[in-house]
Structure 1
Amino acid sequence: MSVTDCLVTYLFAALLLTITPGLDTALILRTSTLDGAKKAFQVALGIDTGCFIWGIVVAFGLGGLLIASEMAYNLLKWCGVAYLLWLGGQLLFKPRQLFELANGQASTNNCFLRGMLTNALNPKMGIFYLSFLPQFIPTGHSPIVWTFLLVFIHVLIGTIWSLILIFATRYVSGFIKNSIFIKWIDRLSGGLFIIFAIKLILSTH
């Protein structure tokens, strides 16, 4: 793909994946509901920082793996394929019927740290970046530079979505918990993951 094709495709995929309800969405909605917009925004900034932490880990690790050897590349490739197929199958064939906010009180102490640790201590985030981001790095371009660029785009989209959630909590939370929305956004995301897995299978070093 050309640079333009990579960016346009990634923007669509990142947008879809960002609005898919998950742990980050639950944490922001819960904090916004219980503690207000200011605390929820601190959580959102912490989540963004967690993404950048994984971006640093993946950028330098990914760059080394892609350059190191064919064996390393293929190992990363097939781990990514397996993960994307598993995740896509789960979402496509077993979509959720319900999206619950986290139980209990949201912490009012250092919400930024709480948001950061939510992502920084979640190995699934690293696995996801490792299996997802390489597909949008144009041939011949620096894996390190492009990984940071893609993470930045993901964070920017996530920040905008977080602001929407925070300032429209009363309306958006009800919509996100709608069973029909949950089911179809999961299926759409699952199909997207499977397409990316097939694309990764067909890719070459």
Structure 2
Amino acid sequence: MSICLIILPGPDTAITTKNTLMFGKTGGFKTTFGICCALMIHTIAAVAGLSALIVKSAFLFSVIKYVGAIYLIYLGVKVMASIRKSEAADRVGTTAVKSKTYKSGFLQGFFTNLLNPKIAVFFLTFLPQFLAPGHNTFIPFFIMGGTYLLLTAVWFIFYILLIDHVSSFMKKPSTERFVQAITGIVLIGFGLKLAIEKE
């Protein structure tokens, strides 16, 4: 079940795909590291009971949901806007736009995952099924959260290496801009879906 949720395409996959195609393995690994750091915070929050507070509070859940939706839409719009900047950069022969985006890969992965309330819901609805009632849940919950993080890291490393291996034919500027456009549309779509979805 966890594997299916990890490999199911979502905002994490979209942003990792875009950064890997544009900046190679290093860009993808930076994004994945950000995703894993966010998952660690989700794990700690679940163990400390903060995730339960968020899930039970309609207000807090809605705040995080809408902030996450706004961030995804912002990323999507930013990606779309960068296409025009990329075209201008190609004409004058500068890589400033790419350099700035490259450095933000970690933060994109981090906030995309951290601001997704569905991760908190998953940690509190799926993982507790494997906990023995009446026992201390701190260590088992932390181990399961760490296992989920490890599986996520392994999957994205494999995914990044696969994309990097087959992306040699996608290095043309026009192809990169097409990938950016698709990613922007996908991120905006995920943001709108998250905003209008009922809890």
Is TM more than 0.5 here? yes
Residue of structure 2 in register with 1:53 after alignment: 41
Residue of structure 2 in register with 1:133 after alignment: 127
> Paired residues, what number?
128
Residue of structure 2 in register with 1:39 after alignment: 27
Q: Which amino acid in structure 1 is aligned with residue 25 of structure 2?
A: A
Residue 155 (structure 2) pairs with residue 167 (structure 1): no
The separation in 2 between residues aligned to 1:19 and 1:25, in whole angstroms, is: 8
Q: Which amino acid in structure 2 is aligned with residue 31 of structure 1?
A: N
**8 Å contact kept, 2:31–2:105:** yes
Aligned ranges 1:3-42 → 2 under 5 Å:
13-42=1-30
Aligned ranges 1:147-162 → 2 under 5 Å:
147-162=141-156
Rate the CA distance shift 1:24–1:117 in 2: closer, same or farther, 3 A: same
Residue of structure 2 in register with 1:109 after alignment: 103
Residue of structure 1 in register with 2:91 after alignment: none
1:146 aligned to which of 132, 140, 143: 140
Deviation at 1:142, TM superposition (A): 2.1
How large is the Cα RMSD of the aligned pairs? 2.9
Give percent identity, aligned residues only.
30
Runs of at least 5 residues in structure 1 that lack an aligned partner in the other structure: 1-12, 66-71, 80-101, 174-205
Structure having the larger proportion of residues in helix: 2
The separation in 1 between residues aligned to 2:130 and 2:16, in whole angstroms, is: 28
The separation in 2 between residues aligned to 1:32 and 1:159, in whole angstroms, is: 15
Larger deviation: 133-142 or 145-154? 133-142
TM-score normalised to structure 1 length: 0.54
SS of the residue corresponding to residue 102 of structure 2 reads coil
- CA deviation map 1:145-183 (0-9, x unaligned): 12211111111111111011111116789xxxxxxxxxx
Deviation at 1:30, TM superposition (A): 1.1
Deviation at 1:109, TM superposition (A): 2.0
The separation in 1 between residues aligned to 2:134 and 2:166, in whole angstroms, is: 42
Deviation at 1:62, TM superposition (A): 7.2
2:117 aligned to which of 105, 114, 123: 123
Runs of at least 5 residues in structure 2 that lack an aligned partner in the other structure: 59-75, 83-97, 168-199
- CA deviation map 1:47-101 (0-9, x unaligned): 01101101111111179x7xxxxxx9xx97xx9xxxxxxxxxxxxxxxxxxxxxx
The separation in 2 between residues aligned to 1:141 and 1:44, in whole angstroms, is: 34
Deviation at 1:138, TM superposition (A): 2.3
